[in-house]
Structure 1
Amino acid sequence: MAFYQLKKEQFINASLDEVWDFISSPKNLKHITPPHMGFDITSDNKDDKMYQGMIISYIVKPLLGIPTKWVTEITHVVDKNYFVDEQRIGPYKLWHHQHILEEKDDGVYMKDIVTYEPPFGFLGAIANHLFIKKQLNAIFKYRFKAVDNIFKTSANQV
């Protein structure tokens, strides 16, 4: 059983209120997901603000354009500080994603910590080495650029 962790950080030259309002709304997920992933929210709560216990369902095409159902639960929310989404149904054996905001004098650091385990044991570990890790990094690279454009900042990513 191998699990992995991806940590990303981005500086956003905007207020904490602006950043929180954007990231805590499920309808904005599509704007920060690469178009080739065919991301569509299928649950009825597209316009709601996230809350603890919220279930969000999507169709996403992470591999070879094959539509995959993904259901996440928002398991923790601390207003203007962080929220956590966990996969309930989807392509991973484990998916735990922490979204953390840290206010600074001149903006906000947005930190993501994704802990995940691919399915299929040893084969999943090979798939992670060959393409899953690269794909996740590419998704975050796209997201950083999208957030940069939305907030018209110069994104600093780590």
Structure 2
Amino acid sequence: MKVHQHHSEVWLPRPVDEVFEFFSNAGNLGALTPPWVEFQILTPVPIPMRAGALIDYRLRIHGLPIRWRTEITEWEPGHRFVDEQRRGPYRMWVHEHLFEQHADGTLMRDLVRYAVPGGEFIHRLFVRRDVERIFDFRRARMLEIFGQPHPAAQLAG
């Protein structure tokens, strides 16, 4: 099984506690998901976020209805959390969310490791582009929600 990786990051001009709190509310996932995916959370909200929490979703990928279940496997408030697919379209999906406080805001990183059924052909034909488009949308929405960083903003470090 070939494991692929996707990495994205965005600088948000807000304190880490505010950004992490937004991501701690599973009800906000829809605001970060492109409309063409027709994303819907099936688990009743609010969902207590913690290690072991299970979240069920329904969405469409290329018109095909998909049910997806993820588990929060690691939960470090204010710093990071990891969700892993337990049922869904991927052979494997592990999504690590990292939050780093800097002087002028928060660096938010998404690190995803995933494997697809159908192998490299399906990955190249559909999945890689889909993952990139979804995370590009997510990044743009985060900037809309939390504000554009000041052009002079630099990572402290």
How many Å separate the matches in 1 of 2:150 and 2:126?
25
Residue correspondence of structure 1 range 1-158 to structure 2 within 5 A: 1-44=1-44, 46-62=45-61, 64-119=62-117, 123-154=118-149
Contact 1:98 1:113 in 2 (8 A): yes
Structure 2 gap ranges (5+) = 152-157
* TM-score for the superposition, normalised by structure 1: 0.91
SS of equivalent residue, structure 1 residue 14: coil
Q: Percent identity?
A: 36
Question: Over residues 26-70 of structure 1, what are the superposed CA-to-partner deviations in whole Å (9 max), with x where a residue is unaligned?
Answer: 0000000000100000012x22341110000000112x2211000
RMSD: 1.4
Letter in 2 for 1:85: D
Per-residue deviation, 1:2: 0.9
Q: How many residues are treated as equivalent by the alignment?
A: 151
Per-residue deviation, 1:74: 0.2
Range that drifts further, 46-55 or 138-147:
46-55
Change (3 A) 1:155 1:101: farther
Letter in 2 for 1:59: R
Question: Over residues 62-118 of structure 1, what are the superposed CA-to-partner deviations in whole Å (9 max), with x where a residue is unaligned?
Answer: 2x2211000000000001000000000000010000000011000000111100000
SS of equivalent residue, structure 1 residue 84: strand
SS of equivalent residue, structure 1 residue 52: coil
Stretches of 4+ moved more than 6 A in 1? Answer: none
Structure 1 gap ranges (5+) = none
Change (3 A) 1:42 1:99: same
Contact 1:84 1:98 in 2 (8 A): yes
